[in-house]
Structure 1
Amino acid sequence: MNAPLFCGSITALITPMKANGDVNFDDLQKLVEYHIQSGTDAIVAVGTTGESPTLNIKEHIEVVKKTVEFAQGKIPVIAGAGSNCTRDAMATAKLLENIDIIGCLSVAPYYNKPTQEGLYQHYKTIAANTDFPQILYNVPGRTSSDILPETVARLAEIPNIIGIKEATGDVSRLAKIKSLAGEDFIFLSGDDATGFETMKLGGQGVISVTNNIVAKDMAIMCELVREGRIEEAETINQRLMPLHKNLFVESNPVPAKWAAHKLGLISDPSVRLPLVPLSEKSQEIMLDSLKQAGLLD
């Protein structure tokens, strides 16, 4: 697989929903077109920001299919395919085989807290049962399961495990993983607040929540870093920093959906239980962040 497909500004796409909780495919098409027009480098469909825990498997596959259909080959699509059940993750990967995606993003198993050996066997088993390039997703704050650099290095020896989305916010992980797994192993930040720093230090890109509402700014910032125009990129990053932080003022993707609705990108900010709409207090925080980013007067 051509590594440059997995670089730059990659959106962790929200899954738009109607007030009754059904997926809103009209809004999904609008979002995909928004990212095409904004220069987003790739889309992650039905990752955890896409509310994968509350979409059933039929919905999950349909959203990925529709995202690919709406993309029309103009933007590559990565499918979220993780689970805390190895068999379920394998089954999802199998169902994705006939969809024109470029790879899978697989979150570390949550709740059951496997050992490092358990994590290794989980990902090894998934990789052995699919030809898709696999990107590990490490987000201990959500999973209570941390894929340590030494385990990443073991997994990097498996040919179709090509990279990691690292969402610890610890930029020192980049050098450690690169030294153990090799310079060709793809390192993508999963933490918007440190994404710029990660790219500046040699990471290939950012799988971003912020990208959902400021796609063009994120695309430009990432391109500037790749061109070595660090000061220009940092100016954009500093303007977006309130968003990077406050889009997590409540559980993701609640603030992102509220902001996308406020900006007219989606027609409804609905989420599925156990998530609930953004509180009034957090709405005020998000309004201020949108103003600081220059998105609202």
Structure 2
Amino acid sequence: MRLSGSITALATPFDVAGELDLDAWERLLQQQLDGGTQAVVVAGSTGEAAALYDAEFDLLLRSAVEFIAGRIPVLAGTGLSNTAKTIEQTRRAAVLGADAALIVSPPYVRPTQAGLIAHYLDIADDGALPVVLYNVPGRTGGDLLPETVAELCGHSRIIGIKEARAEPERMDALLRFKANDFAVLSGDDPTACRAMLAGADGVISVASNVLPAAMRRLCDLARAGNADAARQLDAQLQPSFDFMGVEPNPIPIKALLELQGIGRGLRLPLLPLSKAYSDAASSIAATVRELESACAHAA
């Protein structure tokens, strides 16, 4: 499996009682398919994985696999702070039908680089699913360095990395490891266009929850080397990206989804979008509708 293009880190819709809203979940999945999304991630950080019970993780993943029915890859967020638990979670995801596992560096425990190598190799050697590395230091407290990735990317079961650091130097360092069997993916919407123009294979995106057609269009333009058109669309997307950073992810994206009628709120300790941003949310929602319409017609 070769991951590329626009990949959505799915939010998890809840109802007014705080329970999973499976009707909204299926509408979100259909929105992704209609918009041209090329893979999805279930139960990542955008999906509030830390707030999900085991049975909810199973239900979300099983229902996504059944609904998508092989049309695009389904990745499961299985990364936990302990190697044995991550292996167990990855095995469960395999049984439920996931195509690959997106595995964040162990949060909070801050292992050494040697510890990260041992962690990922143990998971890959177990062989339950192909592994996509995920580096997001702002959430984990540790940084998966390029020299560490160099030690991992040759493993046959490690098929890519999602890099959430925004510095061009980091992406340039990782692009040295890009190969037919190892994808380099941006994990940062605001700099994804730049990364793809430099050679990245795609983006695992938050924004594509509400902008699937626009993010697919951006990926197609950038990966084809159509730099002027890609940068023009990227400039149009930047206000939406900026809004999605006004409070911690997934608060802003879930506010936009709620305005689309998909889901109602988050689970504590996350709170709904602050009222100070209500007008901005409405304005961005209108921008999203315009961009989606334009990009759907351009496809």
Q: Scaled by the length of structure 2, what TM-score is found?
A: 0.92
Do the aligned partners of residues 77 and 284 (structure 1) sit closer, same or farther apart at CA in structure 2, a change above 3 Å counting? same
1:198 alignment counterpart: 195
CA distance in 1, matches of 2:32, 2:129: 23
Q: One-letter code of the match for 1:286?
A: A
1:61 alignment counterpart: 58
Contact 2:178 2:184 in 1 (8 A): no
2:294 alignment counterpart: none
CA distance in 2, matches of 1:113, 1:282: 34
The CA RMSD over aligned residues, in Å, is: 1.6
Pair 1:118 & 2:122 matched: no
Q: Compute the displacement of 1:190 (Å).
A: 0.4
Q: One-letter code of the match for 1:215?
A: P
Give CA deviations for 1:200-238 in whole Å, capped at 9, x if unaligned. 000000000010111111111111122222212222111
Instruction: Name the SS of the counterpart of 1:251 in structure 2.
Output: coil
CA distance in 2, matches of 1:182, 1:292: 34
Do the aligned partners of residues 247 and 83 (structure 1) sit closer, same or farther apart at CA in structure 2, a change above 3 Å counting? same
CA distance in 2, matches of 1:145, 1:288: 36
CA distance in 2, matches of 1:295, 1:255: 18
Contact 2:104 2:134 in 1 (8 A): yes
The 5-angstrom pairing of residues 34-53 of structure 1 reads 34-53=31-50
Pair 1:94 & 2:79 matched: no
Q: Which moves more between the two structures, 73-82 or 132-141? A: 73-82
Contact 1:15 1:23 in 2 (8 A): yes
Q: Which moves more between the two structures, 279-288 or 72-81? A: 279-288
2:295 alignment counterpart: none
CA distance in 2, matches of 1:56, 1:287: 32
2:273 alignment counterpart: 278
CA distance in 1, matches of 2:189, 2:174: 19
Q: Scaled by the length of structure 1, what TM-score is found?
A: 0.93
Instruction: Name the SS of the counterpart of 1:188 in structure 2.
Output: strand
Identity %: 38
Instruction: Name the SS of the counterpart of 1:165 in structure 2.
Output: strand
Instruction: Name the SS of the counterpart of 1:96 in structure 2.
Output: helix
The 5-angstrom pairing of residues 284-295 of structure 1 reads 284-293=279-288, 295=290
The 5-angstrom pairing of residues 1-297 of structure 1 reads 2-3=1-2, 6-179=3-176, 181-184=177-180, 185-264=182-261, 266=262, 268-293=263-288, 295=290
Q: One-letter code of the match for 2:278?
A: Q
Contact 1:254 1:271 in 2 (8 A): yes
Contact 1:131 1:160 in 2 (8 A): no
Q: Compute the displacement of 1:70 (Å).
A: 1.1
Size of the alignment, in residue pairs? 290
CA distance in 1, matches of 2:178, 2:234: 28
CA distance in 2, matches of 1:285, 1:124: 44
Contact 2:90 2:128 in 1 (8 A): no
Give CA deviations for 1:128-160 in whole Å, capped at 9, x if unaligned. 112411001100011111000000111112211
CA distance in 1, matches of 2:188, 2:51: 22
Give CA deviations for 1:45-93 in whole Å, capped at 9, x if unaligned. 1111011011022211221111111112222211111111212111111
Q: Compute the displacement of 1:294 (Å).
A: 5.5
CA distance in 1, matches of 2:230, 2:178: 27
